[in-house]
Chains A and B, each alone.
Chain A
Amino acid sequence: MVDRLSFYLKRSNWFYSLNPITKLTFIFCLLVTIYSSRNIYPPIYFSILVIILSFLAQIGKEFLKSVMKIALPTAGILFLMQSFMMQLGNSSIFEFFIFKLTIENISYAGISAARIFLMLISFLLFILSTHPSELMTDLTRRGLPGQLAYVVVSTLQILPQMQAKAAAIISAQRSRGLDTEGSLAKRVGALAPLVGPLVFGSLVEVEERAIAIEARAFMSTLKKTSLKEVADTRLDKTLRIALIAITVGAFLWR
């Protein structure tokens, strides 16, 4: 299970002071560019760019650690699976049962893996440098209903609590002799004693919480003020327009 829920790291520099929407626009432009052509070079160049950005944002070390833990394994598994399991080309280097390795497969897998790698690391950079509540505050200011922001922020709080609860239930049931590693039938049988207490235990709190937030004008449609202000400077607006212009320009030019 995950050891830390929010990836956010606290820093204060120019990258952090960018508006969340500007960072999302940047990611969106990168992804549109790499998915518009099947070429290995754009994802590689952009990945280097994202890594440089992470160092400029002073989170390079932690960023690379998350890349090693999340992006590299996913992209690596994808590369291996596609190299052996696609059915492109005829000259197989190696063949066994459903597995077949060809040059065409490898080059196809390379492009796919590079794309997924870029997608994962650019989102990692975003979630490392943006606090979820910062994103939600900014989106609420732009017209997102407050209830939606509540759902996202409160899920991020409930999730680690439930994970801790699940871990506690698993060890409690194991200590009672529940078999969680035996035959398939035994493991299926273990599902109910693990899921039951977890689900019913967490649903019990729902009603109390509903009463509590109802008493704080949760469903009110009046405009609310925010304690924290998320800056959206002229630089942000210019950057966003420039990014979209460059992407559209590159698309037309090609």
Chain B
Amino acid sequence: MNFKKNFNTMTWVLIPVAIAINVVVGQIVLTLKLPVFLDSIGTVLVGVLAGPWAGALTGLLTSIISGLAINPDSFNWWPVGLFIGFIAGLTAQFGLFRKSWTVVVSGFIIAITSALLSAPIQILAYGGISPWGISFIVSYFMKLNFTTEQSVVLANFISEPIDKIATALLAYSIIQGLSTRFLGRFSQNDLVDKDRRGKLTNIISAGIIIFLLLVLAFKLLSIIPE
């Protein structure tokens, strides 16, 4: 957990690229109209490679920069990105980024963190219904006589795991595709599996498809009124 060790020159140069990856992949996902965000792949990548502090900084700066350059609404969500990066770095320190199935566990832990943080923001800044797609799920729970707070928390706990597990798996498959020489320049390089890269990419993309299909299944179920 050495703060200084996280930040060598490679980390400082990787952070801007990671922020751009967050934003641009988020936009590609929007173009493809997929039912997820996938807007924190870069944050998780930096957290895993360089450490929790560097990940936290990447997450924080992503909301500041997309607030400055795209939509000021992003400023509201800064704690979420910050903790996603931090927790991603921590889970990597516990060795969860060595195998693809433990990455799923890591993604789930990141999702819980993210849900716990975005729920209060959604309640405090927007009163529960924000101008984002998740509000349809929130509204559905409110209709079932849950309180606003319960609905927001439930909706977040449903939507976050799928998004964050897919994010963690994508970050993992990116790391698998990078050269040992490149990875060796980051402080946490010993925490990622360096031997079996490349082979898993197919399995991982299959995993992502399964998760997205689960999302679709959920969306279809929630449209049918009881």
Q: Which residues of A are interface residues toward B (Cβ below 8 A)?
A: 1-2, 5-7, 70-71, 74, 77-78, 81-82, 85-87, 97-100, 108, 112, 116, 119-120, 123-124, 127, 132, 147-148, 150-152, 154-156, 158-159, 161-163, 166, 170, 180, 184-185, 187-192, 194-196, 198-200, 202-203, 205-207, 209-210, 213-214, 218-219
Contacts and interface: CB of A to CB of B under 8 A. Distances in A.
Given A112-B127, A120-B73, A203 B178 contact: yes
A191 B29 contact: yes
Contact of A166 (B14, B28, B68): B28
A213 B13 contact: yes
B205 A192 contact: yes
A152 to B, nearest CB: 6
B70 A123 contact: no
* Most chain A beta carbons < 10 A, residue from B24, B68, B131: B24
A70 to B, nearest CB: 6
B139 A85 contact: yes
14 contacts: A74-B73, A86-B127, A87-B143, A112-B126, A148-B57, A151-B19, A155-B15, A158-B17, A159-B23, A162-B21, A188-B209, A191-B32, A191-B34, A218-B12
Interface of B: 7-10, 12-17, 19-21, 23-25, 27-29, 31-35, 41, 57, 61, 64-65, 67-73, 75, 125-131, 135-136, 138-140, 142-143, 148, 170, 174, 177-178, 182, 185, 205, 208-209, 212-213, 216, 225
Nearest to A212: B13
B131 A162 contact: no
Q: Report whether over half of chain A's contact residues are helix, strand or loop; otherwise say mixed.
A: helix
Nearest to B142: A87
Nearest to A87: B142
B108 to A, nearest CB: 20
B184 to A, nearest CB: 11
A78 B15 CA distance: 32
A158 B10 CA distance: 16
A119 B75 CA distance: 10
